[in-house]
Structure 1
Amino acid sequence: MNADRRGLAGFRLTHRTWTGELGTWSSAVAADGRPGSALSLDPRLVADPAVRDRLVAAVVADRRLAQGGLTGLVPVADLVAAEGEVWLLTAEPASPAVTDLLTETSGVPRPDAGAAATVLVETAQTLLALHAAGLAHGALHPGNVVIAADGSALLAERGLADAIYGRPPSPERDVAAWASLARGLAANWAAPSPRAAELFERAAATASTHGLAPARDAVLAGRDLLPPGFTTHDRLVETLHRWSAHDARTRGGQPVAAPAVPDEGDIVTLLRTPRTGESRTEDVVMRFGPGVPVETTAAQLWRAGREQPTEPPSGKLRVLGAPARRRRRRAALSSVALALMLVAALAAWLLRSSTVPLEVTGLEVVAPKKTQGCGATVKIKGLLTTNGSAGEIRYEWKRSDRKETIEQTDTVASGKTSHEVILQWVVKGEGSFKGTATLRLLSPLPGGKKLQDKAAFTFRC
Structure 2
Amino acid sequence: MRSLRAEDPDALGGHRLLARLGAGGMGVVYLARTEAGALVALKMIRAEHAADPSFRARFRREVRLATGLTGRWVVPVTAADAEAREPWLASTFVPGPSLAEAVDGHGPLPTHTVITLGRLLARALAEVHAAGLVHRDVKPGNVLLALDGPRLIDFGIAQDGGATALTAPDAVIGTPGYLSPEQTRTGGGDVGPASDVFSLGCVLAYAATGRRPFGTGDPAAVLYRTVHEEPDLGGLDRLLPPPVRAAVTDCLAKDPGHRPTAAGLHQRLEAAADAPAAPTGRGDWLTPGVLRLVAEGSARALDPPPRLAASTPPERSGTDTAHPPSRRRLLTVVGSAAAVLAASGTGAAVLLTREDSTAGGTPRTLPTHTIGLQLDLTGPQKTLGTTQERGARLAVTVHNTRADARFKLALKTFDYRGETARAQETARRLTADPAVLAVIGPTTAAAVRAAAPLYTDASMPLVLVSLAPETVGLPDPDLSTVCSITASEMSRRMPALDYLTRVRPTRRTAVIEDRAAGETSWDIAGELRESPPDEGTATVHSVAANENDFRPAVDTALAARAQAVVYTGTSPIRAALCARALAAVGFVGPRMGFEPVMRPAFLKEAGEAAEGWLFEAPYTDPAATGTKASKAFTAAYRERYGEPPGRWAAEAYDAVGLLAGTLDSLGTGTGIEPGEVAERLFRTTHDGVAKRIRFLQGTHFLELVNMNFLYQVTDGAFRFLGRHDLVRGRKG
TM-score (norm 2): 0.30
Choose between structure 1 and 2 for higher RCO, CA contacts under 8 A separated by at least 6 residues. 1
TM-score (norm 1): 0.45
